[in-house]
Structure 1
Amino acid sequence: MAICISLVMSLSSKVALADDSTFMYYGFEPDIITNYLSTGKKVGFVRVTIELMAQGETNLKIIQHHAPLLRAALVDVLGRQPEDRVKSLAGREEIRKLCFNTVNQLLKKETGQELATELLFTKYIYH
């Protein structure tokens, strides 16, 4: 009987370990749409689909809980970008890194941990 209980406990701890080592994604829905700083008379906008990668379901749930705060910060970051940065490939990567750092800074302030392991733009449209 003791061997059976030990085996069940061993298997359940391995399942829990596998769950926390799995990378999961949180997608902000709907897409983030905001104006950016344009140089001409025309108003420019950017539409971005953002996915955050986190390790384990627990971290994903924490990110999901803080999603409204993170979304507001992402809108702010995107809205402060100049037109030339929004429209260039190198600029897009700079913006992505800035968004990633902003998200992790906020998560660290709120939870004490940087929970996002990556931030991806899965759609990036500007006009």
Structure 2
Amino acid sequence: MNNRIALLLALILPLTALASGGEEEKSAEPKVAYYSLVPALVGNFGSGPKLKFYKADIALRVTGSEAEEKVEHHEPLIRNQLVMLFSQQSDANMGDEAAKEQLRQEALRQVQEVLTQEEGKPIVEDLLFNNLIIQ
């Protein structure tokens, strides 16, 4: 009976070591994070006699804590780029879903361009409008 237990332990211990080693490799993979630009971007847009306002809650998708730290470091530059982009929009560019999607893609492109100039790579993988209010 003791031989069977010893044999069973001899077979199980290497398997548990392999299983725990696999978990360590998985946890070493960079994690996807969403960096929220807080507070929300607020400003006016368009031309004409009547002022139009926007409020945009934006999240940036990055992979890894190093990328998140770089985005946080460059947040003032990113915010400036996005405020400038939003302030240049017209009613047509902010009105319907298709126009908002084009605006989202242009915002992502500009953020990636700025980060490429500063860091040598785009860092941000996607830009999401958590909330976009136009008034």
Range class of TM-score, shorter chain = 0.7 to 0.9
Which 4+ residue blocks in structure 1 deviate beyond 2 angstroms? 13-18
Kindly, what percent of the aligned residue pairs are identical? 27
- Give the alignment's TM-score, normalised by structure 1: 0.84
State the AA in 2 paired with 1:63.
V
Separation (CA, whole Å) in 2 of partners of 1:109 and 1:15: 32
Q: How far is the alpha carbon of 1:15 from its aligned partner?
A: 6.4
Give the match for residue 94 of structure 1.
Answer: 102
Kindly indicate whether residue 16 of structure 2 is the aligned counterpart of residue 30 of structure 1.
no
State the AA in 1 paired with 2:130.
T
Rg larger in structure: 2
Give the match for residue 117 of structure 1.
Answer: 125
Separation (CA, whole Å) in 1 of partners of 2:68 and 2:26: 17
Structure 1 segment 65-76 matched on structure 2, within 5 A: 65-76=73-84
Question: Equivalent of 1:14, from 14, 25, 28?
Answer: 25
- Give the alignment's TM-score, normalised by structure 2: 0.79
Q: Over residues 67-96 of structure 1, what are the superposed CA-to-partner deviations in whole Å (9 max), with x where a residue is unaligned? A: 000000000000001111111211111110
Separation (CA, whole Å) in 2 of partners of 1:118 and 1:49: 14
Aligned length: 116
Question: Equivalent of 1:55, from 44, 51, 63?
Answer: 63
Please state whether the residue corresponding to 1:27 is helix, strand or coil: strand
Separation (CA, whole Å) in 2 of partners of 1:16 and 1:106: 31
Give the match for residue 3 of structure 1.
Answer: none
State the AA in 1 paired with 2:107.
C
Alignment gaps of 5+ in structure 2: 1-17
Separation (CA, whole Å) in 2 of partners of 1:65 and 1:118: 18
Alignment gaps of 5+ in structure 1: 1-6
Separation (CA, whole Å) in 2 of partners of 1:100 and 1:110: 15
- CA 1:15 to 1:65, structure 2 compared with 1: closer, same or farther past 3 Å? farther
